[in-house]
Structure formats: C-alpha cells, structure tokens
Amino acid sequence: MEFKHITLRHLKMRLKHPFTTSFGTQQDKEFILVEIKNKDGISGWGESVAFTEPLYKEETVKTNWHIMEDFLIPLLFKEPINHPDEVSQRFAHIKGNYMAKSALEGAVWDLYAKEQGISLAKALGGEKEKIEVGISIGIQKSIDDLLKIIDQYVTEGYKRIKVKIKPGWDVQVIQQIREKFPSIQLMADANSAYTLDDMDHLAKLDDFNLMMIEQPLAHDDIIDHAALQARLKTPICLDESIHSVEDARKAIQLGSCKIINIKIGRVGGLTEAKKIHDLCKEKGIPLWCGGMLESGIGRAHNIALTTLPNFILPGDTAASSRYWEQDIIHPEVEVNNGEILVPDGPGIGFEPNLEQIEEYTLYSKIFRP
C-alpha cells in the first residue's frame, strides 16, 4: 500500500439531543476525520473518537492532532505498509494515544479493503449480513422524561436499552424502568461513578435482572472490579479499563468482568480489537461494540467490527438520525426493528458526503510523504 497523502480534518457537528453521562454533557461533537488517499485516488476513511475534554479518557481532539501530525503520520510515510495489521506494530513504541492511532489505522483498513475490492467486514473476517443493535440513553432531567425516551426506542425495536447511572440516579431509576418495562434487555453504564464503598448499594441492582453494569469503578481499575464482581450477581462489563488484549487477559484472569465492551478507538484500532475478540471468544466472554457518539464514518467501522462472531450482545450503534440532523455519509446508517444490514460494498460500504464534511470542517491539513 502506498499513500499519496493524508488529510486531517477537524469537524464540529451538533448532536440532536445533549448527551449526559456521570462525567458531563455533550451538545456538540468535535472530532478528527482521517482521509488517506492512494496513488489511484482511492480514499480510506477513519474517525478519532477523542472528545474535546479528557473526561472519558485522557486523549482530546488537540492531543490527537499533535500525536498524529508529529509522530504517527511520519511513521506511516516511513516505508510502505503491506497489510493494515502492520500499522499497530509500527505505532507500538508510541505510548498510549490509542484513539489517535486507531483513527489512522482505521483509514488504512478501509483503504486496504477498497484496494482488495472487499467489504471491511469481510477483510476483518466478519460473517454476519445483519447485526442487532441497542441504544444508549444519557441521563435525563426526570425519570418521566427517561421513561418516555425508552418507550420510543423500545417501540422502534432496539434490541437493548442502555441507561446511565450515578450516585443519586441509580436504584430508584432502574426500579421505575423495570416497573414499566419488566422484560426489556436493560443495562446500566456508570462511567466509573462509584467506589468499592458503594458495593452494598450497587448490590441492590441485582434485583432488577440487568444484563450488566458497565464500568462501575475507576477507569483504570481491574482489581476492585474483581472484588465487586465476586459480590454481585449482575455481570460487570468493562469499558474504560480495557485498552488492549493484555488488559483483557488480566481482567478475565482476575474475574474483574463477565462481559467486555470493545470501542475501536479505546483499544488502538481494529487489529487490537480483533485480538481481544479472539481471546474473549476462547475464554467465553461475550462482547458488544460500544459507541462514542460517532459520525457515520466511525459508525461504519463499528458495524464492520460487529460482524465478528463473538459480538454476541447488541451494541451502541444506533441510527445516524438518532444523533445528527445530517450525517456525513450516504446512505446514512439506518436501523430497522433493531437491526442494521451490513453493507457489502468495498471498504466501509458507505460513501463520505464530501459537501457535508466540508460544511462541518473547522480546519484541515494535508500531509504528504
């Protein structure tokens, strides 16, 4: 593979609805879009999932731009890449910065699949022709507001409802959801809002038949999660704690979780995501694909990854129209009765909408070898 040039674009898109979690509220989504064009004019596309503030993890849009411009892009130009699996090896000596690495690696994977004339799903070894998806709902002003939103998405057929919890917005909320929706597939994401001191309080959630509690404790912990999992009947799912297949191996060995949420950006790219997938398949740990409020480009990568066989549980990949007045791909991602048809076109299988991308672009820069 030879790269003619790499374009970084900083985009700003306004979410249809503010998204509130235990660590803050998002109304606008700023992110870096990566385009890698080859000498035949074919472009591969990737998306960084870093936010503007280091509240979910330590990376931001600005740190990503710096690491891509000053370290990762020069490494990509250093010598030809024969297969996308080589990208993570070439980046390996650069510590952390998983989201920056993932955005570039994702664009290489998309370009590779397009050059091979196959879908990204097929290039990754995916087998599914459609995937089941759920939806993640932020913290609302009132429980009544939350119940109305849940009712809307259950009616639309989403296969799983994920709600956010935090101290003061947890047991009572889940109890009222269960009273109205006794049998839906329901999970709660705490985004590290609790400590082991809350163990007995969190154990009250065992009464509500949750699929899982996602990341209840610190974003960089697997020890205390093991102690909590031993106390809870409800499976713990790790999100923020897992950056690599090594993290996953240790967490599984310690009993820190029974489910893992893979976010391509959090683990440094699709090659590492595949390694985690294969380990979890071997160990009997079900996976699902987490979301980061992506545009259609990142959403397309999530769809492709979710076609791998151990992505057993519905993930966060909801329809474009749930997030954006106008997404940056066409067609947009559509969900029908909780399912997405996997595109079989080359690469990510969705066309970037260049006009819309330009409209949302705050600034861009082209890098040449």
Which residues are part of a known binding site for Mg(2+)?
Answer: 189, 214, 239
Is the Cβ of residue 253 or residue 336 nearer to ligand 164 in the bound state?
A: 336
Contacts of 248 by beta carbon, 8 Å cutoff, 6+ apart:
242, 260, 276, 279, 280, 285
DSSP code of residue 322: G
Q: Which entry of Mg ion, ligand 164, none binds 56, CB below 5 to 8 A by partner kind?
A: ligand 164
From 109-117, 122-130, 177-185, 287-295, span contacting ligand 164 (CB under 6 A):
287-295
193 binds ligand 164 (CB under 6 A): no
191 binds ligand 164 (CB under 6 A): yes
Q: Which single residue brings its beta carbon nearest to ligand 164? A: 291
Task: Out of 3, 31, 45, 56, point to the residue binding ligand 164 (CB under 6 A).
Answer: 56
User: Distances in Å between the alpha carbon of 260 and those of 25, 233, 325, 327?
Assistant: 24, 16, 31, 28
269 binds ligand 164 (CB under 6 A): no
Q: Of all helices (H) and strands (E), which one includes residue 361? A: strand 361-367
From 10-18, 145-153, 285-293, 361-369, span contacting ligand 164 (CB under 6 A):
285-293
242 binds ligand 164 (CB under 6 A): no
| Least distance to ligand 164, CB of residue 49, Å | 8
- Return the closest-CA partner of residue 45 out of 107, 130, 113: 107
247 binds Mg ion (CB under 5 A): no
Contacts of 336 by beta carbon, 8 Å cutoff, 6+ apart:
157
CB of 64 closer than 8 Å to CB of 97: yes
DSSP code of residue 342: P
Task: Out of 239, 294, 316, 327, point to the residue binding Mg ion (CB under 5 A).
Answer: 239
Is the Cβ of residue 190 or residue 252 nearer to ligand 164 in the bound state?
A: 190
Is 281 among the residues known to form the active site?
no
Choose, from 164, 166, 274, 275, the residue flagged as catalytic.
164
In whole angstroms, give the CA distance from residue 295 to residue 360.
11
| Least distance to ligand 164, CB of residue 292, Å | 5
Task: Out of 268, 291, 314, 352, point to the residue binding ligand 164 (CB under 6 A).
Answer: 291
112 binds ligand 164 (CB under 6 A): no
Is 62 among the residues known to form the active site?
no
Taking CA 11 as the corner, what is the angle to CA 325 and CA 297, rounded to the nearest 5 degrees? 70
Contacts of 311 by beta carbon, 8 Å cutoff, 6+ apart:
131, 262, 277, 287, 288, 289, 305
Could you list the beta-strand ranges (E) of 171-235. 186-189, 213-214
| Least distance to ligand 164, CB of residue 318, Å | 6
Residues in contact with ligand 164 by CB under 6 A are: 21, 56, 136, 189, 191, 239, 290-293, 316, 318
